[in-house]
Structure 1
Amino acid sequence: MFEEASEVFDNMFKSSFPLTFIVFIPAVLILVSPLPAEAAHEFTVYRMQQYDLQGQPYGTRNAILNTEARTVEAEVLSRRCVIMRLADFSYDKYQKALRQSAGAVVIILPKNMSAMPQDIVQQFMELEPEMLATETIIPVYFAIEDDELLSIYTQTLTSSSSQGSLSAAEVLTLLQNKKSGRLAGVGGEELPTIVVVAHYDSFGVAPWLSYGADSNGSGVSMLLELSRLFSKLYTYKRTHAAYNLLFFVSGGGKFNYQGTKRWLEDNLDHTDSSLLQDNVAFVLCLDTLGNGDSLYLHVSKPPKEGTPQYSLLKELEMVVGSQYPEVKFSMVHKKINLADDMLAWEHERFGIRRLPAFTLSHLPSHRSAQRSSIMDVRSVSPSSRYGVEEPHVDVSKLSRNTKVVAEALARVIYNLTEKVGGGGGDLQIFTEQMQVQEEHLSAVVEWLTAQPRAAQLVDKDSSFVSTLEYHMGRYLKDVKRHYVKADKRDPEFVFYDQLKQTMNAYRVKPAIFDLLLAVCIAAYLGMMYLAIQNFGLLYSVVRRVTQPKAKVH
């Protein structure tokens, strides 16, 4: 019987390899089955910005990763996915990962960013532009922490500290517009037009985490509230002013104000359908107005005395000085530098086309980090202990700033200062039923910050665009939507997808274990092969050993 079995196995190896595979694979599976690789956690990750602006690439250029995880404390990071928490993040550590040609970088963000110490928040906001300034080859992702992800980080940190060559490791695998509306004045054919502008898009190192609460959710909220207030004044004949009011909400503001640029081209270069055919008194751009006790009027060219823009400057000074003495108001003059790749403020787009314009903001400089940060969120953060202005929206201050702008605009439109003989600083127009509604402002800010508004994520079919159009249509007439598309032949801007993905973390044995397992399997298969090839000899040896010895009496 054993001789026949030996012939069967011998023929199977010589003429039927698939059958051999079927017979021996269960043995391999039995050997490997106690040590499976288990999926530890599946979580959502958000990729760093990737876009081209005027032919210059920015952000990360890759998306796919499948590599072993390490923390930045490990000595060797080459071809590893480097995990780091925001609390431990620094630009030096980030550069260390890039210098060592890491396979990827994953930065873990806290669930509640407003609970982070303000020095860490400020440091990260200042680093975001530097991270985007240069082209990064490796994938860079952000993830929101949870218990499982923190557990993965802790275990990876332990492994990295001990260099973990024999311990378990984690392997991370990545699976694969503009609107305008107007209020028409009364009293003549060619009335001067005042344009109120705000861009709605947000910006940060990761598009899906860019909520832009203060920059520029506050500006859009103020514009909508101003349109509500002045629509009431323009409803009645006796308060219908001799100015046209044009409210313009633009997209692409964070990409060199591309939406505003294209809108100006459409309305100035094609005069048949222009909204700016009339005399433009001035353009007031609203940007980052939801916090602080300062207001700055940024101008490219100081207004001349006797012009409408000079009147607005003086009215702002008068309203702030008489009604809100706690607010510091000043004008900041900065010439337009056409050599720069990026314009400083939105009013510069209008200034290039020789339209009198300025930007009102609580920020003293366009270089402020919070204008382009994922830390710019709605939540109110704890009091700063470091003297740093916190990147969030204070609705009470936004309401105050809205009233300042509304009162100053009304004084210009109705020429109230001249009518009361240059005085009347304490005169308030928007009171009682006409007052600024803080609840309305809060609701609009809440809606704006309930979704990321990065330009890559907001298209013409977006519910955000439709809702914004509805809001403007409630108070304004002739609300129109304008579309901007990149020129296919010579695009000024190019966006890329794969900005939100799912990542899996698997617990696996280290590479040395795989090598040891392969050697054991090879040895096992070799022994089995030799045993079958020499089954007759093996049988005789076994029989000789197991055969009972004859007893001699």
Structure 2
Amino acid sequence: MFEEASEVFDNMFKSSFPLTFIVFIPAVLILVSPLPAEAAHEFTVYRMQQYDLQGQPYGTRNAILNTEARTVEAEVLSRRCVIMRLADFSYDKYQKALRQSAGAVVITLPKNMSAMPQDIVQQFMELEPEMLATETIVPVYFAMEDDELLSIYTQTLTSSSSQGSLSAAEVLLHTATANGFQMVTSGAQSKAISDWAITSLEGRLAGVGGEDLPTIVVVAHYDSFGVAPWLSYGADSNGSGVSMLLELARLFSKLYTYKRTHAGYNLLFFVSGGGKFNYQGTKRWLEENLDHTDSSLLQDNVAFVLCLDTLGNGDSLHLHVSKPPKEGTPQYSLLKELEMVVSSQYPEVKFSMVHKKINLADDMLAWEHERFGIRRLPAFTLSHLPSHRLAQRSSIMDVRSTQQEHQGGSGGAGQGHLQPHREGMKTDGENLLKRFMLLSVQEEQLSAVVDWLTAQPRAAQLVDKDSSVVSTLEYHLGRYLKDVKRHYVKADKRDPEFVFYDQLKQTMNAYRVKPAIFDLLLAVCIAAYLGMMYLAIQNFGVLYSVVRRITQPKAKAH
């Protein structure tokens, strides 16, 4: 930079000295002066969900951003990037940005979301479904706060808040002198992902005692869901359910190794994909087993289907059913076993059966067992949630907290909740229950599985057939079960049940800029400066005589 300055000086002295001195000295001073701050900040942003389900679009439909930053306190938000902090977020503010046709919305999140106050967490969880309920053309992003991003927000907030309380002249001056930020994304416009495959996994343990044995099916979906796919870790829903399914597979594989404890039931374990998208993996798996094959455990005598969903927190346990079980059925026996075990061994746990009929008019099924109920298979879902409508099932706030880590397993759903499921899976006439009770849950392994599951986002749009999530689950199932295989679901090309879109994770740059009026004001100042210099040169004789008269010392009187 100093070499450039010296070159400017050299050219200046070679030409007309007075004019070049007057014109170029200010430019050189600006050139060599250090910049007061960094000109740009680069950070990662995570876009809101964009998908189609049963022909209905959801989420944001845009992924391009190149506009100036504002906070929601500004009077005008049209074609501006509105920055909000989670601590100050509200649905009214969000709707204000959408109504004014904002250029984009960026919501900043704390790095440790589990440390957020519970009232803020609960409020945002309840707002997530409303944000996704309808599509919007405004791109919506989420970003993790750092010092630079917080500084950008603070400066933008100061600029946006002051404009409403100043006079017109003060606003004009403030607008011309204040720093602004141009928010620009580096990605392209989003487009539909073609031939995306949702992967599910199946494994089994064969019973002993004959060919026509009843089958018990244990199911859990592994994908997570939230307002932003790349921030959906799903610790409770459904990392807890998958971890318990794997632990059940390990325990029963031990029992089925010995003749004395080898039960007269076939056990079928199914880890389904696309659970958050109306259980697409389970739907296709049922079609393959019931409609397109002659040999399947599901076509034989199915005792019941047990779905594990959201078992990681709370002091309650609910058995959700579409049809109350009748006395004398295996389903009724399981219900009574659960009631007995909870009341005798875990009195602090509140257990109940929740009956809800399947509403085929709804676009989305409530629980995974309803997929089986539609095909007339006896099924129910075990969960600590009393209702399927609770926001914990579909939130980016569903992360593994420090409290959960200390509780072991899946945050309170370790041995206390796991033993009731396994208690009910005994066979009449055998000493399986007593033997099962001697087997202990490996809490360290259970906790390690949950840690692994919650260390990565598992949204269905991010987990393809080559994902480490699928391969690791397949490895664990292969350790305990036989005939482990994959099942794939692809959307129909002519009438797709689901459509996913890309550009869900992008890089955003915040460039420090001056507003356009600053260029106008600077041009006026430069023109005034050059005009004054021109008049001074044209009238140099007059100016010189005035200066000489002023600076010449007065003659002493004799």
Task: Bin the TM-score by the shorter chain.
Answer: 0.7 to 0.9
Over the residues paired in the alignment, what is the CA RMSD in angstroms?
6.0
Residue 126 (structure 1) aligns with: 126
Superimposed CA distance per residue, residues 232-268 of structure 1 (whole angstroms, 9 cap, x where no aligned partner): 0000111111100000000100000011001111111
Q: Summarize the Cα distance change of 1:552–1:363 in structure 2 as closer, same or farther, 3 Å threshold.
A: closer
Contact 1:2 / 1:539 at 8 angstroms: preserved in 2? no
Native 8 Å contact 2:203 2:481 kept in 1: yes
Please give the secondary structure, in 1, of the residue aligned with 2:305. Answer: strand
Q: Is the 8 A contact 2:5 2:32 kept in 1?
A: no
Q: Which residue of 2 aligns with 1:500?
A: 505
1:424 aligns with 2:415: yes
- Is the Cα–Cα contact under 8 Å of residues 28 and 521 in structure 1 kept in the other structure? no
- Relative to structure 1, the CA distance from residue 5 to residue 541 in structure 2 (aligned partners, 3 Å threshold; closer, same or farther) is farther
Task: Give the C-alpha shift of residue 274 in structure 1.
Answer: 3.1
Q: Deviations over 1:6-34 (max 9, x none)?
A: 99999999999999999999979978998
Deviations 1:438-473 (A, max 9, x none): 111100000000000000000000011100100000
Report the more deviating stretch, 106-115 or 247-256.
Answer: 106-115
Q: Deviations over 1:23-52 (max 9, x none)?
A: 999979978998899533211111000000
Task: Give the drift of 1:537.
Answer: 18
Residues paired across the two proteins, number: 499
Whether the aligned pair in 2 keeps the contact of 1:6 and 1:532 (CA below 8 Å) is: no
Change (3 A) 1:546 1:272: farther
In structure 2, the CA distance between the partners of 1:57 and 1:4, relative to structure 1 (3 Å rule), is: closer
SS in 2 for 1:297: strand
Q: Deviations over 1:332-362 (max 9, x none)?
A: 0000001101000000000111111000000
Cα 1:32–1:365 shift into 2, 3 Å: farther
Could you tell me whether the CA contact under 8 Å between 1:204 and 1:374 is conserved in 2? Answer: yes
Distance 1:4 1:454 in 2: 53
**What's the TM-score, normalizing by structure 1?**
0.78
Q: Cα gap change, 1:6/1:326 in structure 2, threshold over 3 Å: closer, same or farther?
A: closer
1:508 to partner: Cα distance: 1.3
Judge which range, 302-311 or 193-202, deviates more.
302-311
Name the CA distance, whole Å, in 2 between partners of 1:551 and 1:21: 37
513-522 or 105-114: bigger deviation: 513-522
Q: What secondary structure, in the 3-state scheme, does the structure 2 residue paired with 1:38 have?
A: coil
**Per-residue deviation, residues 159-191 of structure 1 (Å, max 9, x unmatched):** 111129999999xxxxxx100100000111111
Structure 2 contact 415–441 (Cα < 8 Å) conserved = no
CA shift at 1:272, angstroms? 3.1
| Distance verdict in 2 for CA 1:529–1:475, change over 3 Å | farther
1:510 deviates by 2.1
Shift of 1:118: 0.6
Contact 1:37 1:508 in 2 (8 A): no
SS in 2 for 1:4: helix
Deviation at 1:509, TM superposition (A): 1.3
- Contact 2:8–2:28 at 8 Å: present in 1 too? no
Q: Is the 8 A contact 1:345 1:366 kept in 2?
A: yes
Cα gap change, 1:488 to 1:7, in 2 (>3 Å): closer
Q: Deviations over 1:181-225 (max 9, x none)?
A: 000001111111100000000000000000000000000000000
Contact 2:12 2:21 in 1 (8 A): no
Contact 2:218 2:307 in 1 (8 A): yes
CA shift, 1:490, in A, is 1.1
Q: 1:424 Cα deviation (Å)?
A: 20
Deviation at 1:67, TM superposition (A): 1.1
The one-character-per-residue Cα deviations of 1:49-99 (angstroms, maximum 9, x if unpaired) are 000001111011111111111111111111111111111011111111111
Q: For residue 532 of structure 1, what is the aligned residue in structure 2?
A: 537
CA distance in 2, matches of 1:211, 1:2: 52
CA contact (8 A) 1:169 1:508 kept: no
Matching of residue 150 in structure 1 with residue 150 in structure 2: yes
Q: Aligned in 2, Cα 1:318/1:71: closer, same or farther, shift over 3 Å?
A: same
Structure-2 residue corresponding to 1:64: 64
On the 8 A contact 1:39/1:506 being kept in 2, the answer is yes
Secondary structure in 1 matching 2:444: helix
**Inter-partner Cα distance in structure 1 for 2:207 and 2:276:** 32
Residues 458-505 of structure 1 deviation map (CA, whole Å, 9 limit, x = unaligned)? 000001110010000000000001111111211110011111111111
Q: Which residue of 1 aligns with 2:107?
A: 107
Give the distance between the partners of 2:5 and 2:396, measured in 1 at CA. 71
How big is the shift at 1:516? Answer: 2.4
The alpha-carbon deviation at position 507 of structure 1 amounts to 1.5
Counterpart Cα distance in 2 of 1:536 and 1:461: 84
Higher mean C-alpha displacement, 38-47 vs 499-508: 38-47
Larger mean Cα displacement after TM superposition, 279-288 or 9-18: 9-18
Task: Please state how far the C-alpha of 1:434 moved relative to its aligned partner.
Answer: 1.4
SS at match of 1:298: strand
User: What is the CA-CA distance between 1:288 and the residue it aligns to?
Assistant: 0.4
Q: Residue 450 and residue 551 in structure 1: after superposition, are their counterparts in 2 closer, same or farther (change >3 A)?
A: same
CA distance in 1, matches of 2:80, 2:4: 54
Does the CA-based 8 Å contact 2:491-2:498 persist in structure 1? yes
CA change 1:119–1:90 in 2 (3 A) is: same
Change (3 A) 1:118 1:529: same
CA 1:11–1:330: 2 relative to 1, 3 Å: closer
Native 8 Å contact 1:169 1:510 kept in 2: no
Query: CA 1:20–1:167 in 2, change beyond 3 Å: closer, same or farther?
Result: farther
**Which is worse superposed, 270-279 or 349-358?**
270-279
Does the 8 Å contact 1:48/1:141 carry over to 2? yes
- Structure 1 residues 367 and 548, CA, compared in 2 at 3 Å: closer, same or farther? same
Structure-1 separation of matches of 2:3 and 2:378: 104
User: Would you say the 8 A contact 1:6–1:535 is kept in 2?
Assistant: no
8 Å CA contact 1:319, 1:426 repeated in 2: no
Secondary structure of 1:341's aligned partner = coil
Instruction: After TM superposition, give the deviation of residue 540 of structure 1 in Å.
Output: 19
Task: Tell me, yes or no, if the aligned pair for 2:2 and 2:32 is still in contact at 8 Å.
Answer: no
The question of whether the paired residues in 1 share the 8 Å contact of 2:46 and 2:230 is answered with yes
Partner residue, 1:418: none
Deviation at 1:512, TM superposition (A): 1.1
Per-residue CA deviations over 1:294-324 (Å, capped at 9, x if unaligned) read 1100000111111111111111111111111
Decide whether the 8 Å contact of 1:69 with 1:169 is kept in 2. no
Deviates more, 1:508-517 or 1:441-450: 508-517
SS of match in other structure, 1:164: helix
Partner SS state of residue 519, structure 2:
helix
Alpha-carbon contact 2:45-2:143 (below 8 Å) kept: yes
Aligned CA distance change for structure 1 residues 61 and 2 (closer, same or farther; 3 Å): closer
* 1:437 CA drift (Å): 1.2
Deviation of 1:511 (Å): 2.3
